[in-house]
Structure 1
Amino acid sequence: MPKQLQKNTLTYLVHKFDSMLSLCQKMKVDDTEVLYSILFIEDCSSVDAATIKKHYKEVALLIHPDKHNSIATEDAFKIVRQAWETLLSNHNKRKRTV
C-alpha cells in the first residue's frame, strides 16, 4: 500500500475513533478503550507508560502535519496528542493510588 494511502487511511480512522469518543462522552460511558484505539493499542489490559509513549510516537510520526499537509491531518494529530495525554494522566493516577 502506498504511503500516502496509508496516511490518509490512518487519518480517517483517527477521526472515526474521535467520533466514537464523542459519543461515549455524551452517553457518559467509559471511553478508555476508544482512547487506546486512537493510538492503535490492541491489548488494553496490561499497558504501561512506555507502551503508550511508543504507540503515540509511531502514530504521530505518520500523521504529523509537517509531513502530511492536510487540515484533516492537523486535526487528527491533535486528537492523537489528546488521547496520549489523557491515557498517560490516567495511567499515572492509577499508579499513585496503588
Structure 2
Amino acid sequence: MHWLVLVLSGVMEAVWATALGASDGLRRPGPTGLFAASGTLSMVGLAWAMTELPAGTSYAVWVGIGAVGTVLLAVLRRQERLGLARGALLLVLVVCVAGLKAVS
C-alpha cells in the first residue's frame, strides 16, 4: 500500500509542477488552486509512504515519477517535444526508479 501511495504522490508532483507552470506566477486562480491541492496531496502522500519505506529511495522514486510525468504532460499538451535522445533518457530514468524499488 505504501508503494501505491508513493506512486500516486509522484503523479501528483507532476500535476502540481504542471499547474504551477500554468498559473502565471500564481495569478491564475484555477491552476493556482490545482497547484495547492495537488502539492498538498503529493507531500502528504510522500510523508506517509516514508513511514514504512526508506527515505532516500522514497524521495528518489517520487522525484523520478514527478520528473517523467511532468515532461510527458508537457509533451501531451504540445508544450515540449519528445525527441529520440530525450525519450531514451526518460526511459533510463524510469528503469533506474524501477531498479531502486527492486532492490529496496
State the TM-score, normalized to the length of structure 2.
Answer: 0.39
Structure with higher helix content: 2
Q: Which one has the largest radius of gyration?
A: 2
